[in-house]
Amino acid sequence: MLGTGSAFAKTYFNTNALIYADHNTLLLDCGITAPLSLHQLGKPLSEIDAVLISHIHADHIGGMEELAFRMKFVHGRRPVLYIPEPLAQPLWDSSLKGGLLQDECPSLDDYFDVRLIRPGAKTELLPGLAVEPIQTAHIPNKNSYSFLFNATFFYSADLIFNPELLRNLVEERGCETIFHDCQLKPPGIVHTTLDELLSLPLPVQERIWLMHYDDTKPQYEGKTGVMRFVEQHRRYRF
């Protein structure tokens, strides 16, 4: 995990991750703090093979301009960008264009090898790593996607509590592990709260790991039932 913090956390980096599959590396969201976190881990950008984006908020895409510029002008590379199709235009027009647009680089394709992925369909991202983007509610009328990897590992974007989805993933689809955003103090409004997750059936909670938490996390140690916290700069194997 490059980070496990909420958008405004100051003691944790943004909730972004590296996924290792075979000998390849996928960057899962690239927020404002991703470049510094990668630097602290000693992970060169040149070792990132592809990027996957969940939604357009700065803690998930705010590091994309630095990533694009350094990949192009330092490493001479155009990394693969996997992006749910409805996010591609807004990512460029409403966010990256302001900084990245210049005469010889008029589009997102000048910086990334853009691969549009279809929500609800399975796509192989890297050898041994397939994803199904699942549209999940976060901000009204703003597209946001969570990800089911290899049919067994669910990684939430920022999402409003959806107990039906979580029960379906565990009880019907055989999902084994859930990394879920967690707002520690209610009200959640655009996020899922700890109290909401604590209301889930025990077999679902047993599979949940908590991320995207704020700086008060130490006060909640031991108060999350069977659910564990994901810790930043740790590697998990599933």
Ligand X SMILES: O=c1ccn([C@@H]2O[C@@H]3COP(=O)(O)O[C@H]3[C@H]2O)c(=O)[nH]1
Residues 62-121 close enough to bind ligand X by CB under 6 A:
none
Which DSSP symbol is given to 70?
Answer: I
Which DSSP symbol is given to 237?
Answer: -
Cα separation, 34 vs 11, in Å, equals 14
Q: Is the Cβ of residue 42 or residue 187 nearer to ligand X in the bound state? A: 187
Q: Is the Cβ of residue 7 or residue 130 nearer to ligand X in the bound state? A: 7
Q: Is the Cβ of residue 7 or residue 198 nearer to ligand X in the bound state? A: 7
Cα separation, 140 vs 194, in Å, equals 21
Helix (H/G/I), strand (E/B), else coil: 235: coil
Residue 59 within binding range of ligand X, rule CB under 6 A: yes
Residues whose CB is less than 8 angstroms from the CB of residue 137 and which lie 6 or more positions away in sequence, other chains included: 144, 159, 160, 162
Q: CA 60: distance to chain centroid?
A: 7
Q: Is the Cβ of residue 7 or residue 105 nearer to ligand X in the bound state? A: 7
Residue 166 identity (one-letter amino acid) = L
Contact 205, 198 (CB under 8 A): yes
Q: Return the residue nearest ligand X (CB atom).
A: 7
Residue 7 within binding range of Zn ion, rule CB under 5 A: yes
Residue 129 identity (one-letter amino acid) = L
Candidate ranges 7-15, 69-77, 112-120, 225-233; the one touching Zn ion (CB under 5 A): 7-15
Q: At its nearest, how many Å lie between Zn ion and the CB of residue 126?
A: 24
Q: At its nearest, how many Å lie between Zn ion and the CB of residue 188?
A: 12
Residues whose CB is less than 8 angstroms from the CB of residue 73 and which lie 6 or more positions away in sequence, other chains included: none
Task: Give the pair of three-digit tokens for residue 153.
Answer: 């590992």
Of 16, 33, 57, 204, which lies in the binding site for ligand X, with binding defined by CB under 6 A?
A: 57
Q: What, of ligand X, Zn ion, none, does residue 189 touch, CB below 5 to 8 Å by kind? A: ligand X
Q: At its nearest, how many Å lie between Zn ion and the CB of residue 55?
A: 6
Of 160, 165, 190, 198, which lies in the binding site for ligand X, with binding defined by CB under 6 A?
A: 190
Instruction: Count the residues of the shown chain that bind ligand X, applying the rule CB under 6 A.
Output: 8
Contact 199, 148 (CB under 8 A): no
Residue 65 within binding range of Zn ion, rule CB under 5 A: no
Enumerate binding residues for ligand X (CB under 6 A): 6-7, 57, 59, 139, 158, 189-190
Enumerate binding residues for Zn ion (CB under 5 A): 7, 57, 59, 158
